Structure 1
Amino acid sequence: MVNCGLLTTKKEPVPLKHIEVDLQVQGHVATVTSTLQYKNEEEHALEAIFVFPMPSGAALCQFSAKIADQEIVAEVQEKQEAREQYDDALSSGQQAFLLEESEESVDVFRLSVGSLPPHQSAAVTFIYIIELSVQADHSLQFCLPAVLNPRYSPAGTGGGIVSEITSSSTGVPYSLSFTAQVSSPNPITKVESKCPLEPLTFLNTEHTKAKVSLSAGHKFDRDVELYVYYQNPHQLTAIVEAGAPEGQQGTLMGDPAVMVSFYPEFPESVMSSTSCGEFVFVMDRSGSMDCSMHNGQGAQPRIKCAKDTLLLLLKSLPMGSYFNVYGFGSNFESFFPKSVQYSQDTMDQAVKRVNEMQANMGGTEILRPLIHIYKQPCIPNHPKQLFIFTDGEVGNTKDVLHLVRENADFHRCFSFGIGEGASSALITGLAENGSGHAQFISGTDRMQAKVMQSLRFALQPAVTDISEDWTDLSFTRLSPPIKALFHGQRALIYAQLKGEDCQKRETSGKISVRYHLGDQEISNTVHFSLKPIENRGLAIHRLGGRSLIRSLEREEQDDGADKEALKARVVELSKQSGVSSSHTAFIAVNKGSGQAVKGPLVTRRIHTMRAMMCKSSPPMANYFVTPHPPLRLCLNTMPTVQHPTERDNCMPMRKCGMPMKKSLKCLMPMSARAGGFGGAMPSAAIPKLETSDDLVDPLLQLISLQKALGCWEMTSSMAEVFGKTEQVLMKHIPEQVKPDVWATLLALIWLHGFKIDAQVEWQFLAMKAIAWIRTQKVVNQSECVRVGNSLLGCQVEEDALGL
């Protein structure tokens, strides 16, 4: 592992002294300007590089660096031309920058920088724009990470990216200043953060503009998260942004641009309804799924959490559904030859197979199982819903996303990134191209809660048949059509307005969005001023341009596409907007003369790996680890050979303060994970998963006992969950009540009495149980609830049970 930022030829970090961040929020989007100040404290010049990942969906639009007295700014050029200019500068002994997107993933940038003289400072400034994510309480979140999310590259390519900003033993060795200005069509109600903030200052009487900053002396030892709240969050809004003063009329950057925020409200009647479908669960079973969820105490292996979650999903499916489970690594397998109808028998078979699952299938190759799944015929009136779980990256992300997009008309894709190494480009791209929802599960997050939220989306109607009416407005749409939106999701619509049209209409424009939600047809309308606001970094223009560029890049993947014409259009838009693309790169020139700055330069690739080896360990390059504090590696590892296509390089290792056989559970050589044993490791080579006692979570134990119909049977295992014996529970059963009804009512009381905080995890199990109880026509239900409360030590009202 190495640090991000400026690095020496010895891959040691140039000391970071100060970070200054300016955040400009316009409605649902933000412009972020970050300046990182470094100083060479050594007695000789340092040749340096700068590597960093971009947040998913962000668009880098400006980069500059001041090295000693030389200031260099980057401009977008066609990629091959930029590379040739860069090579020419190097061959003539000049200094230059080259910044381009990773070939494998759009959320990673590599920058080649020049030399820094002794005792001189360097200031690196980069500006990016991003859409703010919507939270469950309708706030908009901005996150400035203190630790940059790691990204992993194929073994053998030497292209690993960045890891983290580390702190010294005496604390964070640099300071941070952070200021945010917020503006919105709707009044701002509050701005919150887990970090200490100065009081919010409103800049106008309408409370549509405000300013806030971090309190002085803040130590940048954790993520800075900002939550912005607006009045009427579900109201349709539109913001018009003026074009660039030097922009030519009729071009993307010369004309005004509009951003429409569409965040539909879901009535309770829609939220309580469910529908059947075909549910296909696709589980990553590569070697790294044996790693821990996090580096703290009590962390479970990822595969264990995934198995518990899969069990919960299987128990939560409605009767009448179809399902199948796939495991993938270097190859793939499925529980059934094709999706089967959900019943007690098929559920029992699946649960047995889930309990036997191991992380023993080699590397991470997801394309082939997806091709197989999409070849299976659709089941009438049962829309296909894919749930994909993975903790790594794949080398062919663009091919995978292209396949999902090709099949988007007859399925939805819900994706889950497990652990800090999961690729945001892959996880987010799967959901975006499959009209689904993406979740990232890291640290101490409970996987079950996040996955059940997505299951709720899959079972509930979505906003569909979305169309817009741009009344009397001449425009060019920049963003792709919206196919579907789920509860809690928001869409931003970008368009380029004709300049003459806006000049003639000095009053207002009108946009209506029509859509279907369940059986209802709904229309939302917004009237907005056509007088553009000031162009704060042209965030709306650039994000609109980024959206159009991505759409054109997707078209290039289609068979029969005019690839040259599309490439030319992408390059044109990228150079206009200053937003990079797959066909362009940033090349740096001297701000004053326009010439490359003289000086030596050595380009280097950065690896995210660190291991502390014992005598018998294989070469260091065979192990990749996530950025955690120094860990000790135990003996008895095996010689390995790297697989050229392996992308799944996340290998966190536990500290060795435990017996040898337990400390090896997260240690698996690359060859095994990459199919070095023919796609699966021999059993003797698989480190066994052993824990102290593997204490069973009573909630998971209760879940495992529920029947497919939704009821529970009275058994000794059931009584054990409640801390009772079966004899005691049956002794108190009210008259004329069957044992399975009694067990099911006790389960509902226990869930509401002891596990209400985890209700999102068991809500569908409870809905099935309630539906089953209603078919039993219980005559003394109130008496059952009273006795059950007394027996379990609860005080749950009958109405709260939903009966």
Structure 2
Amino acid sequence: MITEITALRPEECEPVPGAGLGALVTDRGNLPLESVEVTAGVCGLAAGVEVVQTFRNPHEVALEATYVFPLPDRAAVTSFTMEADGRVVEGVLKERGQARADYDQALAEGRRAAIAEEDRPDVFTIRVGNLVPGERVTVRLGLDQPLPYEDGAATFRFPLVVAPRYIPGVPLDGDRAGDGWADDTDAVPDASRITPPVLLPGFPNPVRLSLAVSIDPAGLDLREIRSSLHVVQEEGHTVRLRPDERLDRDFVLRLTFDASTSLALVPDPEDGSQEGTFALTVVPDPAQVTGRAKDVVLVLDRSGSMTGWKMVAARRAAARIVDTLTGGDRFAVLSFDTVVEWPEGLGEGLSEAGDRNRYRAVEHLARLEARGGTEMLAPLEKAAALLTSDKRDRVLVLVTDGQVGNEDQILERLAPRLTGTRVHTVGIDRAVNAGFLSRLAGLGAGRCELVESEDRLDEAMEHIHRRIGSPLVTDLTLEADGLDPVPETVSRPGSLYPGVPLVVRGRYRGAAEGSLAVRGTDASGHAWERRVAGSLTDSPATRAIWARERLRTLEDRYATGDHLLEEEIVAVSLRYGVLCRFTAFVAIDSRVVAEGGPGHHVVQPVEQPSGWGYPVPAAAPMMLAGMAAPASYGGAPLPPPAPVAAAPRAAAPGAFPKRARAAKPAPAAPPASPQLGDLVAEELRGLRAAASLPAADRRRHLEDLAGRLAVFALSLGGHAGLEALVARLRAGGDLEILWRETLEGLEALGRTGKRRSFWRR
């Protein structure tokens, strides 16, 4: 028997009144974010980008909408505007606490306002308040970003979704910093700001996406344009996404052309300015290098978020790295989720890289499956502890998707341990945490390689193979001739690798003329030099890209414990007009449109990243609150769903609900590695205990203290407060005065660590 199925008329399939989650229509209306438009212009090895987000209020009361979204981790955000009701309001860059206070006051007064904040190098939050019923508000972000170049190809990468991140640590008491699904913890104090709600699988596409990239080769020979993820349409040198693409993965465009050695000099735009920015690019000559024996520690993430193709790619990548080792090398392989595992038969130390040991390691890797949480700090600390030999090249390789929230904690704990170690990171995901992985690689003067598909893996691993090998030239220094660089503004030259241009940016004083010489030592131990003459260039992006790079360096030093840098970070951000984690753009309309402020708050949910199956892996089990979930996933038990608490900010339709704050578990064990606050507290206790000793012993105590503080400052990559105290101690003088000033100096350093976190100000 055959039964014909006919379509219902529209009036026959209206949802029942009061329908909620999963219905076609809800009494809350549609989501506030209507569209995202990205327009990029690539010129040589830089890109200028405009991001346009349109919000609409479908409710009957004034609305505040919050959207957590990604941007390229190396991009410099330089402008912000709000448009509504025919009015355009330019955003002003201010210290973050002041910008928030101005925004909150404007909302309370009934004025329309918008604020843009950075929570991670690649995670940003926009809030738009006092949208009146039916109104559309458009916000525009302007940014500049450099394009990494390697082996004859530049890459333009634009992320489109914030992937769920594993949040370790003990939940904090008190109010949350944001409105995400995760509790703030001692390891991730702003976890609730970087964990936006996630759309349920199968929810209709709620946001219109438009993305176009125009390409100007800038005199270079452009031979090929490739897009590795999205289907594109090419019109001349303009590439566009086809309609109906979702915001669930990174957009990646690769441009094949030849780069060239150059020194670009860009004077500041202000009239009469005697300063400017330079960008030095040195393209290495092809060469074969025979390097020293090396110690290599490979750390592989096997947590639940690595499920599917990512785990397959990670195993292949790790095995390829092991296969590149030679008999004179030593190595170790660590795999981790909530525990750390070692290959059977190799032990928990470095092993000779002979055929048998390499086979054991590859066999171990082939058996790994995704499971559990992403407890990344412990395996990285174990890896760093293995790399101590000064007679060998020391290399640490991390293979992961990087989806953790405690980036600052990891950087702070690892920074003192990675001196002299090259750190390479391999990020495997279609929505990878590129910001964290590039910061970690930067700590060890290494490289970050991103793999967004299995097709890209072989090409990426060729790059990693060369990086694990010895560099072409080491111990690089710069010498100026006729150009006056400002030393503290110049990025570290690092080393020169095959196929990877050396890029150094900085500021200069005086006329835009002269040259720079790059000197170092090649693989055979001979002196190496390359001299590059400067050329005057009109490239406003150069200044913004340098400022973003400078801010990233300062922020990473802040994350490793140097909290005295806060004022310098804010000053650099405001002077050069580039957004950072200590500042915010705020746009406030003068017109009153909503008496009493917004009556409704909605946090825009984000897409589940492409390739992440249901249920969401153990990277974010808390998003499953209020939903039926299997008892385990990938071999790791999931916690039972937590009850959903009523919240002042509404859960958007089609999104995972927010969960109630979890009960606070027992305190965690104290960290094992030194931190500035711990060090200061310990030295204060020792100083006070020694106050009654004879004068000679007290003076020796101060001499020893100066040595310990100097070593710790060095491990942090420099620390102004510690260095000033060391200088005072070494200057000597009256013992009682010196003792008192040392106490006061340590107490001042201790107070810097107790300031209110900048994301809460």
Aligned to 1:525: 531
Aligned to 1:585: 584
Q: For the Cα contact (< 8 Å) 1:479–1:544, is it kept in 2?
A: no
* 1:89 and 2:106 matched: yes
For 2:457 and 2:549, the matched residues in 1 are separated by 31
Post-superposition CA distance 1:376-430 (Å, at most 9, x none): 3634532221121223423321232344443443211121222235411222222
Q: Give the 5 Å matches for 1:358-757.
A: 358-360=369-371, 362-376=372-386, 378-379=388-389, 381-445=391-455, 447=457, 450-477=460-487, 478-498=489-509, 500-502=510-512, 508-519=513-524, 520-530=526-536, 532-533=537-538, 538-557=540-559, 561=562, 563-564=563-564, 566-590=565-589, 600-601=597-598, 604-605=602-603, 608=606, 622=621, 624=623, 640-641=639-640
* 1:74 and 2:91 matched: yes
Distance change >3 Å, CA 579–CA 163, structure 1 → 2:
farther
Which of 305, 308, 319 is the matching residue for 1:292?
A: 308
Post-superposition CA distance 1:346-402 (Å, at most 9, x none): 345445544554444x32122222223323363453222112122342332123234
Q: Which amino acid is 2:234 matched to?
A: L
Q: For the Cα contact (< 8 Å) 1:281–1:386, is it kept in 2?
A: yes
State the TM-score, normalized to the length of structure 1: 0.62
Which of 32, 37, 41 is the matching residue for 1:19?
A: 37
Distance change >3 Å, CA 567–CA 443, structure 1 → 2:
same
Q: Which amino acid is 1:529 matched to?
A: S
Q: Give the 5 Å matches for 1:5-154.
A: 10=28, 12-14=30-32, 16=34, 19=37, 21-23=39-41, 25=43, 27-37=44-54, 46-102=63-119, 105-136=120-151, 138-144=152-158, 147-148=160-161, 150-152=163-165, 154=167
* Larger Cα-atom Rg: 1
More divergent stretch after superposition (543-552 vs 633-642): 633-642
Q: Which amino acid is 2:523 matched to?
A: G
Distance change >3 Å, CA 168–CA 42, structure 1 → 2:
farther
Post-superposition CA distance 1:622-656 (Å, at most 9, x none): 4549xxxxx9977998772489xxxxxxxxxxxxx
Partner of 1:400: helix, strand, or coil?
Answer: helix
Partner of 1:436: helix, strand, or coil?
Answer: coil
Q: For the Cα contact (< 8 Å) 1:47–1:115, is it kept in 2?
A: yes
Aligned to 1:221: 245
Distance change >3 Å, CA 221–CA 582, structure 1 → 2:
closer
Q: Percent identity?
A: 21
1:431 Cα deviation from its structure 2 partner: 1.6
Q: For the Cα contact (< 8 Å) 1:286–1:328, is it kept in 2?
A: yes
Distance change >3 Å, CA 548–CA 622, structure 1 → 2:
closer
Distance change >3 Å, CA 492–CA 165, structure 1 → 2:
farther
For 2:558 and 2:36, the matched residues in 1 are separated by 42
Partner of 1:371: helix, strand, or coil?
Answer: helix
Q: Which amino acid is 2:500 matched to?
A: Q
Distance change >3 Å, CA 229–CA 241, structure 1 → 2:
farther
Unaligned runs of 5+ in 2: 1-25, 168-181, 185-191, 610-614, 643-664, 670-761
Q: For the Cα contact (< 8 Å) 1:68–1:117, is it kept in 2?
A: no
Q: Give the 5 Å matches for 1:191-230.
A: 192=225, 195-199=232-236, 212-214=237-239, 219=243, 221=245, 226-228=253-255
Post-superposition CA distance 1:288-313 (Å, at most 9, x none): 33x212xxxxxxxx445434444444
Distance change >3 Å, CA 150–CA 12, structure 1 → 2:
farther
1:280 Cα deviation from its structure 2 partner: 0.9
Q: Give the 5 Å matches for 1:234-273.
A: 235-245=260-270, 249=273, 255-267=275-287, 269-270=288-289, 273=290
Q: For the Cα contact (< 8 Å) 2:110–2:130, is it kept in 1?
A: no
For 2:594 and 2:574, the matched residues in 1 are separated by 22
RMSD of equivalent CA atoms: 4.3
For 1:245 and 1:324, the matched residues in 2 are separated by 54
For 1:280 and 1:550, the matched residues in 2 are separated by 27
1:230 Cα deviation from its structure 2 partner: 5.2
1:598 Cα deviation from its structure 2 partner: 7.3
Distance change >3 Å, CA 597–CA 483, structure 1 → 2:
farther
State the TM-score, normalized to the length of structure 2: 0.66
Runs (4+) of structure 1 exceeding 6 A deviation are 41-44, 162-173, 594-599, 631-639
1:274 Cα deviation from its structure 2 partner: 5.5
For 1:18 and 1:395, the matched residues in 2 are separated by 25
1:124 Cα deviation from its structure 2 partner: 2.1
1:131 Cα deviation from its structure 2 partner: 0.7
For 2:594 and 2:142, the matched residues in 1 are separated by 22
Aligned to 2:183: 156
Aligned to 1:789: none
More divergent stretch after superposition (342-351 vs 41-50): 41-50
For 1:170 and 1:622, the matched residues in 2 are separated by 23
For 2:255 and 2:456, the matched residues in 1 are separated by 25
Q: For the Cα contact (< 8 Å) 1:307–1:357, is it kept in 2?
A: yes
* 1:318 and 2:326 matched: yes
Q: For the Cα contact (< 8 Å) 1:610–1:624, is it kept in 2?
A: no
